[in-house]
Structure 1
Amino acid sequence: MKIGELSRRTGVPTRMLRYYEEQDLLHPERAENGYREYGESAVACVRQLRGLLDSGLTTEIIRVILPFLSDPGEIHLHPECLTPETAALLSGEIDRIQSRIDCLARNRDALRSYLAAVRPAAAEAGEVS
């Protein structure tokens, strides 16, 4: 399939699909005329990439782990494949994600506190939420 069809089927703009290719995350074949040709498996691959990117992973991390992913729920990383550099990269990513989780939890708690403080005042004023 051509890039436009892949875009339509995945909801990912063609510009982003080209970016994935530039980042070595997507590997289309090239027709004789130079057009990109994608196999049926590209649909699942792009959806998987979107899921990984939407979860906050960087293209650098995805490029490292992508060869070990057979589908979104499985990782096949053999211990001998985990170099010290890759382990450090993954550990750093885990720390970064945990920091984001902690920040989100603080913001959630602050919003809950705000609502708890405001709701009684709104009820006293006759407002209904």
Structure 2
Amino acid sequence: MRIGEAARAAGVSARSLRFYEDQGLIVPGRYGNGYRDFCQVTVDRAQAIRTLLESGVPTRLIKIILTEQLDGGAAELDLDAVDPAVVAAIRDHRRRIVARIATLDERRIALDRFLAELDGPRRSARSEPPT
């Protein structure tokens, strides 16, 4: 399939597919006229890449996971072949995500307190009968 159809099928933009290709994350075939030819395996990989990027995984780790760790385009990761350094990098990335979540949660709680304080005086002023 051509890039527009592949983009729709993968739920990404054509620009994203070009970026994934530039990063070495996907390798679409080529027609004789130079147009890209995307197979279903490449579309599936693009969907996986999008999901990983949305979760904050950097492209350097995605490339390792999807390109080097998948055996010839296999659909499943060969767990015995995973480099311990890759696992360590993924665990480190996960720790950073957990820390960001904790920070955001603290900020949400602070905002909730602030809003509750703002709403408190207004509620009591509204509930008092006019004099």
User: Taking structure 1 as the reference length, what is the TM-score of the superposition?
Assistant: 0.78
Between the aligned residues of both structures, percent identity stands at 35
Q: What are the superposed Cα offsets for residues 90-122 of structure 1, whole Å, 9 maximum, x if unpaired?
A: 232122212211211111211221222222223
C-alpha separation between the residues in 2 aligned to 1:109 and 1:30? 52
Per the alignment, residue 122 of structure 1 pairs with: 122
**Which amino acid in the other structure matches residue 36 of structure 1?**
R
C-alpha separation between the residues in 2 aligned to 1:3 and 1:121? 57
Does residue 18 (structure 1) correspond to residue 18 (structure 2)? The answer is yes
**Which amino acid in the other structure matches residue 48 of structure 2?**
Q
Gaps of 5+ in 2: none
Compared with structure 1, are the counterparts of its residues 77 and 40 closer, same or farther at alpha carbon in structure 2 (3 Å cutoff)?
A: closer
Q: Aligned pair count?
A: 122
Per the alignment, residue 85 of structure 2 pairs with: 85
Per the alignment, residue 9 of structure 2 pairs with: 9
Does residue 76 (structure 1) correspond to residue 77 (structure 2)? The answer is yes
Compared with structure 1, are the counterparts of its residues 77 and 95 closer, same or farther at alpha carbon in structure 2 (3 Å cutoff)?
A: farther
Contact 2:11 2:47 survives alignment (8 Å): no
Compared with structure 1, are the counterparts of its residues 83 and 10 closer, same or farther at alpha carbon in structure 2 (3 Å cutoff)?
A: closer
Does residue 30 (structure 1) correspond to residue 14 (structure 2)? The answer is no
Compared with structure 1, are the counterparts of its residues 77 and 98 closer, same or farther at alpha carbon in structure 2 (3 Å cutoff)?
A: farther
Gaps of 5+ in 1: none
Give the secondary structure class of the aligned counterpart of 2:126: coil
User: Which of structures 1 and 2 has the bigger CA Rg?
Assistant: 2
Greater mean alpha carbon deviation, residues 101-110 or residues 3-12: 3-12
User: Taking structure 2 as the reference length, what is the TM-score of the superposition?
Assistant: 0.77
Per the alignment, residue 100 of structure 2 pairs with: 100
Q: What are the superposed Cα offsets for residues 56-78 of structure 1, whole Å, 9 maximum, x if unpaired?
A: 111111112224584xxxx6342
Give the secondary structure class of the aligned counterpart of 1:126: helix
Superposition deviation, residue 30 in structure 1:
1.0
Greater mean alpha carbon deviation, residues 42-51 or residues 55-64: 42-51
Per the alignment, residue 109 of structure 2 pairs with: 109
Give the secondary structure class of the aligned counterpart of 2:56: coil
C-alpha separation between the residues in 2 aligned to 1:50 and 1:10? 9
